[in-house]
A and B are shown apart, each in its own frame.
Chain A
Amino acid sequence: MTTFPRGPRLDRRGALKLSIGGAAALWLGSATQGFAQATQIKASWYGGQDTHDRMQQALALFSEKNPDIQVGVEFAPFADFYDRLPVQYSGGGAPDVHRHSMTYLFDYIERGLLADLTQHIGSTIDISGLYPGVVEIGTAGEQTQAIGNNQIAVALFYNQEKLDAAGVTGALDNLTWDAFRDMAIELGQAGGDQHYGTNDAGGFIALFELFVTQRGKGLYSDGALGFDRQDLADWFTFWHSMRAERGAPPPSVTAESAGFQNSPMVRNLAAMQTGWCQQLVFFQALMTQELGIHACPSPEGASDNGHLIRALDFWVAPARSAHVEQSARLIDFLLNDEEAIQTLGLTLGGPASDKASAILAETADAPSAKILNYLEELRPLASPQTPHWISGHGELESLLNRLNASVGFEQTTPEAAAENFFSEADRILG
């Protein structure tokens, strides 16, 4: 009979002691290891593929230079991002630092959901080189809850070839609203059947803001609408007259124009397109013909061309985040680190500081150089103000778009649409 050497016996008590001891050792081990581990934070943003690629490269650089912070990422297109964000805030799982558009920013600021970054400004976040308004828009009283990550303005993009062919390029020199309308109609006619001058921008609220700024008013004033019914009726009337003569496409074409790739200019249906200046890069990437960029129309003889150069997107941290300090370091890195500025290029918008402008000017490709040049030339002519939007802006933007389409489909008149906008705005802002 073979006998085996008797090893240590393990009864139930022994097993229990061993498992408790083992678990404790594992916990202690992981805890000790934890002290040496990097702090995990989550960053998120919205944008297109170019933004996602460049942001991830910039964050990889950040992790290299800051080994004590590990950044997890989450990104989505704009609409999907804002479907998810309120749920994340509601459930306490909002990312530690994220991009926030002015469209919804004040919905969050007014509810006290964003961390006050004031104590980190100066010590962690260097704001000394930022353009005026970049910090001010996110500052109320003594609290700064959002810091701009860009400075942008609305612009008019045009297909140079089509303008030359129609012989209307000269109209850009003195682009009043009437000249713009005539030019758009000529371009539509020059293009032939089912061609139009520009996109229907009657639902583009930032362009409407420019329109009322040129009239010495604002989109908002003291938490309410800052313009009159007549201003809005005039606006709807202008775009209705554009559609009537193919200066702008009919609403059924506009209904299918969401996204850069579906815009009438990219689909070769229109010669011009309004948008935010940095979008020139996205439009140019989808087209072979060369695009130009120009300031939007202004009234005859106006001293102020109504263009607002200001931050439209921001970096914020939720008030409930346990890592505001680390988030502040990341915000500073994205705003001020030379390599980060180079990596991000214009994907988040125009530069937010002279330093960023200078760095980007050195390496800019042709479309980016046009944007930088546009902002540079616009700056002395632009309004010195940087007014901000308010809570409820997102809903008002959809409302404007819907009413402009209703006028287009002749379901309502410009005057009735303006009236409707005001009564709905009362409820939304009430």
Chain B
Amino acid sequence: MAQDTVEAVITGKQATRDATAASRRGEAWAALVFLTPWILGIVLLTALPMIGSFVLSFSNYDLLSAPRWVGTANYERLLFSDPRYLKSLEVTTVYVLVSVPLAVAVALIIAVTLSEATRSANFFRGVYYLPSLLGGSVAIGVLWRQIFGSSGLVNISLSGLGFQTTSWIGDPRYALWTLIILNVWQFGAPMVIFLAGVRQIPKEVVEATIMDGANPVQRFFRITLPLLSPLILFNLVMQTITAFQAFVPAYVVSDGSGGPIDSTLFYTLYLYLEGFRNFRMGYAMSMAWVLLVIIAVFTALSFYASRFWVHYES
């Protein structure tokens, strides 16, 4: 009898285990079915084209006829014998190194200033975020032409004040700077992230420093800045990645040429011109892969440097 009971219990446990396993297998299948659209998307729309572009970056491919294998010739030309490529790298690097820290700094200052939950602060937060909603759109590029053109708003104001005017977007000394201003002006996205961060700073800490007699500047540098440092890193990295890939503003402001005399020839704009206008798609693909490496190196450097200045609470 006892033996029967034991067997029955064992069989029962076995049955439960089987049922559980079957149910898990069922769940796994269901999960797979639900994930299929995303997996297909990643494989077909991201992974395969990436592999394709990597392979084609070693070819002479003009979009119009079959690719021809050229080994590392594209990469060699890129790194050693294309002055326009080096120019595009220089333009983009200046753009990233100047506009990204400025945009993050402005976002941080505005976020701290507007962190109080008053009605006017809410209003200004909305107003300051607005340029980011418009983003890198064509309309903003056109607007920028109107503002900085030879008969644009800036020149009208300057001549009204008796200053000498110049064509800001037509002069290679200033054209890139108009695009840097454009990028700095769109600080809304990092500002929102900083705002959330400022709200997370424990009130007790702030109150304690006030009790100790710290003034607002000391509070900013001793409390706010260190506690927000992980977010500063995050914003710097994200903004750097986006800035390296900037395309639309330069395309619109320079009429797709990167001019005057290549002063706004952004990396992606040159890539586009080589691929689609000059029928060197293989070369353009090698440029894309080098850009990936450049962005990866910049990101890695940011993370490496962060150990010296980013403060994590844990």
Contact = CB atoms under 8 A, between A and B. Distances in A.
Contacts of B278: 394-395, 428
A87 B63 contact: yes
A39 interface: no
Given A252-B260, A253-B150, A258-B255, A89 B63 contact: yes
B222 interface: no
B171 A252 contact: yes
Interface string B168-183: 0111100000000000
Interface string B245-276: 00000000001110111100000000000001
B63 A253 contact: no
Contacts of B261: 251, 402, 405-406, 409, 411
B65 interface: yes
A86 B279 contact: yes
A252 B261 CA distance: 10
A331 to B, nearest CB: 22
A253 B151 CA distance: 10
B288 to A, nearest CB: 16
A61 interface: no
Contacts of B171: 252, 255
Interface in A53-105: 79, 82-83, 86-87, 89-90
Q: Is the contact region of chain A dominated by helix, strand, or loop, or is it mixed?
A: helix
A376 B95 CA distance: 53
A383 B3 CA distance: 114
Given A79-B256, A86-B64, A394-B277, A402 B262 contact: yes
Contacts of B62: 86, 111
A83 B170 CA distance: 24
A409 B261 CA distance: 9
A87 B62 CA distance: 10
A211 B85 CA distance: 32
- B: interface residue count bin: 20 to 34
Contacts of A79: 256
A111 B64 contact: yes
Interface string A371-410: 0000000000000000000000011001001100110010
Contacts of B229: none
Interface in B54-79: 62-65
B162 to A, nearest CB: 16
A136 interface: no
A255 B169 contact: yes
B255 A253 contact: no
- A: interface residue count bin: 20 to 34
B277 to A, nearest CB: 7
B64 A113 contact: yes
B209 interface: no
Contacts of A411: 172, 261
A256 interface: yes
Highest count of chain B CB atoms <10 Å: which of A252, A267, A405: A252
Contact of B277 (A90, A395, A409): A395
A113 B279 CA distance: 14
Nearest to A91: B63
Given A395-B277, A395-B278, A402-B261, A256 B150 contact: yes
A392 to B, nearest CB: 9
A107 interface: yes
B64 A252 contact: no
A215 B63 CA distance: 38
B64 A255 contact: no
A276 interface: no
Contact of A256 (B65, B170, B256, B276): B170
Given A107-B64, A113-B64, A405-B261, A252 B167 contact: yes
B150 A252 contact: yes
Nearest to B262: A402
A395 B170 CA distance: 22
Interface string A246-279: 0000011111101000000001000000000000
A108 interface: yes
A87 B276 contact: yes
Contacts of A113: 64-65
Contacts of A401: 257
A90 B150 contact: no
B13 to A, nearest CB: 41
A405 B259 contact: yes
A253 B170 contact: yes
Nearest to A84: B276
A91 to B, nearest CB: 9
Contacts of B259: 255, 402, 405
A100 to B, nearest CB: 13
Contacts of B65: 111, 113
B224 interface: no
Interface in A102-154: 107-108, 111, 113
A411 to B, nearest CB: 6
Nearest to A258: B255
A82 B276 CA distance: 8
A75 B175 CA distance: 32
B277 A82 contact: yes
B279 A252 contact: no
B169 A256 contact: yes
Given A398-B257, A405-B259, A256 B63 contact: no
Interface string A228-253: 00000000000000000000000111
Contacts of B255: 258
B64 A90 contact: yes
B261 to A, nearest CB: 5
Nearest to B77: A427
B131 interface: no
A430 B168 CA distance: 37
Contacts of A409: 172, 260-261
Highest count of chain B CB atoms <10 Å: which of A79, A89, A107, A405: A405
Contacts of B136: none
Contacts of A255: 167, 169-171, 259-260
A220 B120 CA distance: 67
A252 B172 CA distance: 8
19 contacts: A83-B276, A86-B64, A87-B63, A107-B64, A111-B62, A111-B64, A113-B65, A251-B170, A251-B260, A252-B166, A252-B167, A252-B260, A256-B170, A398-B277, A402-B257, A402-B262, A405-B259, A409-B260, A411-B261
Given A89-B64, A402-B262, A406-B261, 17 more contacts: A79-B256, A89-B63, A113-B65, A251-B170, A251-B261, A252-B150, A252-B167, A253-B150, A253-B167, A256-B145, A256-B149, A256-B167, A256-B169, A267-B151, A395-B278, A405-B259, A405-B261
Q: Would you list the 5 A-B pairs with minimal beta carbon distance, nearest first? A: A252-B170, A255-B170, A255-B260, A252-B167, A258-B255
